[in-house]
A = this chain, B = another copy of it.
């Protein structure tokens, strides 16, 4: 347990074994079955989840009952409704498992305690969020400046693993397209070769 979590942590901020043990006491393991919720829209998000195994997604549901996928998370990634987590306001996202999953949770209380007692944890979080911010900025840039086909191509090139593991209608949702539109975009691409 926690192998991948500490591997990723050490890549960002090297830890001694003692530090590792100390941090471990703040972590909570959790298993999720496929389709189970980690967070439901309206609840307060109580933890950041690191994915040791499996796949999750965060999404919103609009007034027409259409789902819009905000984020995928597979092994080595982290997922949460950060705003709700930090402010304790009701979440606007729902998070559930796309496959059976093993998670490492950092509760809000653990997070606060670690920030106080372990400077390397703050550095880890800073680097984690910085990376997430840069990735998000890239995605937004694609979204406002590229046509659907180009966005799809870049997505499959950037995240080939996700493109293979999740249903295409979810990728469409992630890109802000309907499943029909993505299907037609793919058809056009195929016809050209």
Contact = CB atoms under 8 A, between A and B. Distances in A.
B82 A137 contact: yes
A102 B70 CA distance: 36
Nearest to A82: B134
Given A82-B134, A129-B133, A137-B70, A143 B144 contact: yes
A146 B68 CA distance: 10
A185 interface: no
23 contacts: A60-B145, A66-B145, A68-B144, A82-B130, A82-B133, A86-B130, A86-B134, A92-B141, A119-B119, A122-B123, A122-B126, A125-B126, A126-B126, A129-B129, A129-B130, A132-B133, A133-B136, A139-B140, A140-B143, A143-B143, A143-B144, A144-B173, A144-B174
Given A82-B130, A125-B126, 12 more contacts: A62-B146, A70-B141, A86-B130, A86-B134, A122-B122, A122-B126, A129-B129, A133-B136, A140-B140, A143-B176, A144-B175, A145-B176
A83 interface: yes
Interface in A104-159: 119, 122-123, 125-126, 129-130, 132-134, 136-141, 143-146
Interface string A160-181: 0000000000000111100000
A138 B175 CA distance: 15
Contacts of A143: 140, 143-144, 176
Interface in A61-93: 62, 66, 68, 70, 82-83, 86, 92
Nearest to A119: B119
A175 B82 CA distance: 23
Contacts of A92: 141
A126 B122 CA distance: 8
Given A119-B119, A122-B122, A129-B130, A60 B136 contact: no
